[in-house]
Amino acid sequence: MIPKELIKALRKIEITTNRLATEQLSGNYTSVFKGQGLAFREVRQYQPGDDVRSIDWNVSARMNDTYVKVFVEEREMTVMLVVDLSASESFGTRRSSKAALAAEVAALCAFSAIKHNDRVGLILTSDQIEKIVPPMKGQKHVMRVVREILGAKPERTGTDLGVALETLYNVARRRSVAFVLSDFYTSGYERALALAAARHDVIPCMLVDPRDEELPDVGLATFEDFETGESVLVDTSSPRVRAHYAHHMRALRSEHVKVFRKLGLDHVVIRTDQPYVKPLRDLFARRARRLRR
């Protein structure tokens, strides 16, 4: 039986993200994500200006006239959601935790996909694969995907995005659009990301909380690593300590961004203290401008 709290959260996400997908992202979605290529539709008589390479010689010979093949874009796609469930995702000091934010962003991407008859699949990961939901269509399926994210109880607390990206490469045989939702507090995933990006349109979505970037001045405080359980006493009243922390976190994010850019990947930063629609709209706009060039 599904807990009442989960049903309430599901309903809230459904209402919010379904509306946002319709009002905010629908037009942009179709303009920046391509389908699998061209699909044959029919043959028709040759007209001046038609590409001679499209002539169907077999049909032309039978009909004693010149006929060409007509193709249309096959728009149907697969959208894969790769969602990090490691313990650091439970952190959040503003509107929501990173995990709750990931669920809402995933739902928005999923609703945008089904409105265009695309399939949606899910890979839940920690430092192992926690669950795989094969791609399917329909609103009922999307609600199952969101329910799996919200109700997930991962067996492990660590992060290994390499495992998730290798799984994406192996299980999604057709070229897919893959949104990777994580705070990217990990390393060693670069080779797996390169392999996945060679087959799929991978979009890293970096989840960020303000406290990931700077420490508050609260005097002596104990900080615990959610994933390892280790704790350390920190004097947050020290400007040097706060400056060192901020520098380290900026450098860490910069290294991830360098990897994304080296592979030619679009990425987006989504924050717990700001609305998440604008960064996605900006991402779609960047892709649209590039396609028009």
Q: Name the token pair of 218.
A: 């609260």
- For the chain, the domains span 38-74, 75-209+263-292
Contact residues for 265 (Cβ-Cβ < 8 A; gap 6+): 193, 197, 202, 203, 204
Are the beta carbons of 130 and 152 closer than 8 angstroms?
A: yes
Q: With b meaning 16 or more CB within 10 Å and e meaning fewer, what string describes 6-16? A: eeebbeebbee
Q: Domain 75-209+263-292 carries which CATH code?
A: 3.40.50.410
Which pLDDT does position 61 carry in this prediction? 86
Residue range 253-271, pLDDT digits in tens: 999 999 999 999 999 999 9
Are the beta carbons of 206 and 186 closer than 8 angstroms?
A: no
Are the beta carbons of 123 and 132 closer than 8 angstroms?
A: yes
Helices (H), the chain: 4-20, 26-32, 57-63, 98-114, 139-150, 161-171, 190-199, 239-262, 277-292
Backbone torsions φ then ψ of 54, nearest 5 degrees = -90, 5
Q: Calculate ∠ Cα 53-54-55, nearest 5°.
A: 95
Residue range 26-49, pLDDT digits in tens: 556 665 665 555 555 678 888 888
The one-letter amino acid code at 267 reads: H
Please count the other Cβ atoms lying within 10 Å of the Cβ belonging to residue 281. 16
Indicate the angle between helix axes 277-292 and 98-114, nearest 10 degrees.
50
Q: Average pLDDT of each block of 10 consecutive residues along the chain (293 residues)?
A: 66 74 64 55 82 84 85 72 92 84 91 87 96 93 90 90 95 89 94 94 94 86 76 86 90 94 94 90 80 61
Global confidence as pTM: 0.80
Q: What is the CA radius of gyration of the chain?
A: 23
